[in-house]
Amino acid sequence: MAKVKITVNGKELEVEAGKNLVDAAEENGFEIPHYCYHPGLSIAGQCRMCYVEQEGNPKLQVACNMKCSDGLKVKTDTPKVTDAVKWSLEFHLINHPIDCPICDQAGECGLQEYYMKHGKYKSEMHEEKELKPKVVDIGDQVVLDKERCILCSRCVRFTQEISKTSELGIFSRGDRSVIGTVNDSPLTGNYQTNVVDICPVGALTSKDFRFEQRVWFLDETQSICSGCSKGCNVDVHHKKGKHIYRLKPRYNEQVNSYWMCDKGRVTYKDSNFDRRLSNAKLGGVDLPHAEAIAAWAADLKVLIATERTEEIGVWITPHQTNEELVSIFETFATQLKTNKFYSESVETLVQKDEAVDGFLLRSDPYPNSRGFLKTSKEKKIKLQSIEDLIKALEKETISHLVIICPEGERQFPHMSRISQMVKPSQFVVILTPQNAAIEMFPSALSLPTLSHYEKAGTMINHAEISQSLEAGFQMFKESRSIQQTMKDLLEAQAKRAESRERMAN
């Protein structure tokens, strides 16, 4: 892109030609207030908040409709501009109920922010506020409050341009204008909650997050959605790492832009405290992590002493990060010398992978299938199918099965099949963040691991883009990352070998 020179408030800036002035100013530290402008949507010029003074133009101009061209000179801080912004805001607040105490948007609301920065501090309106319907149910994800709406039309443009469902529209005229759907029909599709994210006020709020928590209590951690192979960038909103409340899409031009699907938004529930395994368990009884590792090492010791390490079977899925997979392969293939690795046919998943609804959601349910294939190829691991595992369990060629469990729905079909085939003589170790799989293997040794949104590492998405997850919190003290578990296991193993040598001498 060609660079052009523009001047904002007397400061000369070099920006890309044709870039939107609001974005260009923001990148260089000049804030231009705006409601209706969203970089992912078309331009409406409806809110009249982004007024700037352009040199050589007697009237104020809206910055959202200005493209950067050479020699453009604007001012954002003249008295004329601040006055116009102040009055625009007053117009927005004429019929706004100002019910911030009960509004979920409070704390991240455009009206609150600009009122404090540019607002008038005393309303000059004598008229009564126009009353409109408040808790309007539109669809299974979104609640609409018609009073709070400032008619910026971001949501209308979203359904027209991005989700292409064209459900929302502005009805009636003047101060009775409202956002709504035709005949009050509900919103449909997999991208409804995006209208909640782009709503600059609290008119559209999420049902899942409704009244759950005030936003100023929430901490943010960057992560990657675990829902499918798209790997949408997300911010995990949690309170002190104890409770995850919601996921919000994070801008990434190459992957998900500003959007995210509704299916992906609920994946945080699998990482939340109520579905988690909090303690290591052996046959349903809690025990400390170190003791659980010792019990595992003791069983491995027997296999090593009798040179039967090829009886170790490992079930893995592409839900793990590349780093976790490397540590698993190194521990079991290099150190313990087994070649029995089982997984579902990831290659078929990758080959058949396609965008299900033509936008973000993809058919491959694992976030790291490409990374899984790449890592196993690098480590020269030959992967066998679920059928092979069932056969091996039947013939009892496996006496020690390690299951690295994925999260959520995708664990169930395979896990229940395996659990039916496991015989009491076979020792089963499950590494899982969730408690769902534990119930299927009542006598197994289970070790709690970090859940998807607590992990650090990299994952490779469907377009071969390697993305990183950031470890921000740990919900349970007893849970360990898979790398740490593998390290602990090898250490316990070495200790046992050492004491055996000492006893032999």
What is the contact surface with another protein in residues (CB under 8 A)? Answer: 99-102, 106, 126-128, 134-135, 210-212, 214, 216-217
| CB-CB contact of 436 with 411 (8 Å) | yes
Q: At its nearest, how many Å lie between another protein and the CB of residue 107?
A: 10
Joined together, the tokens standing for residue 479 give 């849970």
44 or 149: CB nearest another protein: 149
Nearest-CA neighbor of 488 among 308, 296, 311, 322? 296
Dihedral sign, CA of 145, 150, 156, 161? Answer: negative
126 or 502: CB nearest another protein: 126
237 or 289: CB nearest another protein: 237
- d(CA 459, CA 465) in angstroms, rounded, equals 8
Q: At its nearest, how many Å lie between another protein and the CB of residue 236?
A: 21
Bridge-based pairing state of the strands 51-54 and 73-75 = antiparallel
Q: Give me the half-sphere count of Cα atoms (radius 13 Å) on the Cβ side of residue 144.
A: 26
206 or 461: CB nearest another protein: 206
- d(CA 288, CA 282) in angstroms, rounded, equals 10
- d(CA 389, CA 314) in angstroms, rounded, equals 9
User: What are the phi and psi torsion angles at 317 (to 5°)?
Assistant: -135, 160
Is 50 in a helix, a strand, or coil? coil
Q: At its nearest, how many Å lie between another protein and the CB of residue 102?
A: 4
Q: At its nearest, how many Å lie between another protein and the CB of residue 121?
A: 17
- d(CA 482, CA 161) in angstroms, rounded, equals 43
- d(CA 416, CA 419) in angstroms, rounded, equals 5
Nearest-CA neighbor of 325 among 346, 302, 348? 346
263-265-266 Cα angle (round to 5): 75
Bridge-based pairing state of the strands 136-138 and 142-144 = antiparallel
240 or 352: CB nearest another protein: 240
Q: At its nearest, how many Å lie between another protein and the CB of residue 152?
A: 23
Nearest-CA neighbor of 219 among 26, 38, 453? 453
Q: At its nearest, how many Å lie between another protein and the CB of residue 272?
A: 16
121 or 216: CB nearest another protein: 216
98 or 373: CB nearest another protein: 98
| CB-CB contact of 75 with 52 (8 Å) | yes
Q: At its nearest, how many Å lie between another protein and the CB of residue 51?
A: 30
Q: At its nearest, how many Å lie between another protein and the CB of residue 211?
A: 4
Q: At its nearest, how many Å lie between another protein and the CB of residue 124?
A: 12
What contacts 83, CB < 8 A, 6 or more positions away? none
56 or 101: CB nearest another protein: 101
Q: At its nearest, how many Å lie between another protein and the CB of residue 202?
A: 11
| CB-CB contact of 43 with 30 (8 Å) | no
Q: At its nearest, how many Å lie between another protein and the CB of residue 475?
A: 19
Joined together, the tokens standing for residue 434 give 């969730």
Q: At its nearest, how many Å lie between another protein and the CB of residue 100?
A: 8
148 or 452: CB nearest another protein: 148
128 or 253: CB nearest another protein: 128
- d(CA 266, CA 262) in angstroms, rounded, equals 7
Could you write out the DSSP letters of every residue in 136-179? EEETTTEEE-TTT-----HHHHHHHHTS----EEEES-GGG-EE
Joined together, the tokens standing for residue 480 give 């360990």
User: What are the phi and psi torsion angles at 446 (to 5°)?
Assistant: -120, 135
Q: Which residue has the tokens 């409806």?
A: 46
142 or 156: CB nearest another protein: 142
- d(CA 114, CA 288) in angstroms, rounded, equals 52
125 or 302: CB nearest another protein: 125
